[in-house]
Chain A
């Protein structure tokens, strides 16, 4: 009961802030809603018994990536809002319809696969409490090569970002 209440509250906040992110007129407001959204998603992870992922979510997403967005918004000081003058060519409505169709499809697949009789799923239960050590163990043994590749990816991205942000391009 308490679990269901917590889930629905978190889900409502996550979706609500998600919608606010894409509807806010002001980009800075949009970014603030994004941060709030990420914090609630982190809470959802913690609620699911994944504390390490929750902290990574806050440190990397809320504390790192979104600050980067905020910086760029401050640097590209917008004299005219990019969406002030709309041209008729934008296919916003079509996009909305297509997206909703895809959503219906995804939900239908999930429902068909798992709610159909005989496929009763166990209630979501968290992993054993000390899964931080487990994650670390997996990361540095079975997934060592992907881990090194990820570090390489970050290095390349860093060099790329520095080159792109240089004054004379």
Chain B
């Protein structure tokens, strides 16, 4: 049994990140797409914590806190946009979100 190295965490993180990418590419429901983006951010956080352990200092964890802040801001504004859009067009399908296209 090989010991768990940071490489294990990196592979896990890459796999989770790709799960998020697939979600963004394949799904058309914008709420699910935003959730996939949250998955991607979490994949990054897993990496940051793993590296924080690798270098034995807590800066990685500090960065995780900033990432969580940005994720919170993104979710609030993104969901606000979805609500405003839904009120006007009654849909959350991203293919129908073509208001800005001319």
Contacts and interface: CB of A to CB of B under 8 A. Distances in A.
The reply, when asked whether chain A contacts chain B directly with Cβ atoms under 8 A, is yes
Interface string B52-85: 1110111101101110111111111101111110
Given A22-B26, A98-B25, A157 B72 contact: yes
A123 B50 CA distance: 11
Nearest to B24: A95
A1 B1 contact: yes
Contacts of A66: 38
The DSSP consensus for interface residues of chain B is helix
Contact of A91 (B25, B58, B77): B25
A141 to B, nearest CB: 11
A89 B93 CA distance: 13
The DSSP consensus for interface residues of chain A is helix
18 contacts: A15-B12, A27-B29, A31-B35, A37-B42, A68-B79, A76-B92, A82-B29, A82-B91, A92-B26, A106-B18, A110-B10, A123-B3, A131-B61, A138-B58, A138-B62, A139-B65, A161-B79, A165-B83
Interface of A: 1, 3-4, 7, 11, 14-15, 18-19, 21-22, 27, 30-31, 34, 37-38, 41, 44-45, 48-50, 52-53, 56-57, 60-61, 64-66, 68-69, 71-73, 75-76, 78-79, 81-83, 86-87, 89-92, 94-96, 98-100, 102-103, 106-107, 110-111, 114-115, 121-127, 131, 134-135, 138-139, 143, 146, 150, 153-154, 156-158, 160-165, 169
